[in-house]
Amino acid sequence: MTTDFDTLTQCLTDNEMVVDGAEIHGMMCGMLCGGMALSEQHWMVVLQDTMNQGEPLAEPVVKQLQTLFNQTCQQLVDGQYGLQLILPDDSQPINDRGLGLINWVQGFMAGFGLYQQKLSNCSDEVREALEDFSDIARMEEPMTDDEESEQALLEVMEYVRISALLCFNELGQSLLEDQQDSPSVH
């Protein structure tokens, strides 16, 4: 079962959370792309603290987030550039989709910052992508619902997706690295 924006956002709303599916997925991706180990189990507590004012997450939210986490990890490690951003679908108005992308990027930046404070450790490409993300996160102008704006939004969405994968490929922890945490005997 894959998680989509509407299902996740409805679950969050039903459980009185004030974030949408894009922002929470962005944060999850940011944590993973910033260097959080795929096997780390602490991520749920981080999301609870940052996205739900430290209040325990309702069981339906926990189930949705666990599914989303597993799906996201699989997409990041599959090597096929298969990461799918959780955003409003193409049938939604362009400004709703644009706001979803902004929320996703803001979530990504927050999650990334939790695991990667030293940007001097990052390549020029990753630093440039993060600067671009910062610009995207501050976008405010409403978009006109025309072919040109539609194309521009699709290009920015694809850039964000590929940039997130770039960050993961450079800084993310692979499953193999997770398994090498056991002490070695010399």
Residue 178 has pLDDT above 50, yes or no: no
**Neighbour-count burial for 47-82, b at 16+ CB within 10 Å, e otherwise:** bbebbbeeeebbeebeebbeebbebbbebbbeeeee
pTM of the model: 0.90
Residue 1 has pLDDT above 80, yes or no: no
Quick check: is 17 in a domain?
yes
Specify the length of the chain in residues: 186
Quick check: is 124 in a domain?
yes
Mean pLDDT of 160-178: 81
Of 88, 84, 161, 83, the closest CA to residue 129 belongs to: 161
Q: What is the pLDDT of residues 8-58, one digit of tens each?
A: 999 999 999 989 999 999 999 999 999 998 888 889 999 989 888 888 999
Quick check: is 185 in a domain?
no
Quick check: is 18 in a domain?
yes
What is the DSSP code (8-state) at residue 145? S
Q: What is the pLDDT of residues 91-131, one digit of tens each?
A: 999 999 999 999 999 999 999 999 887 788 789 999 999 99
Number of structural domains found in the chain: 1
CA distance 20 to 39: 25
> ∠ CA(65), CA(28), CA(86), 5° rounding?
75
Q: What is the pLDDT of residues 132-163, one digit of tens each?
A: 999 999 988 788 889 999 999 999 999 999 99
- Asked whether 120 and 38 are in contact (CB, 8 A), the reply is no
- Domain around 89: 5-173
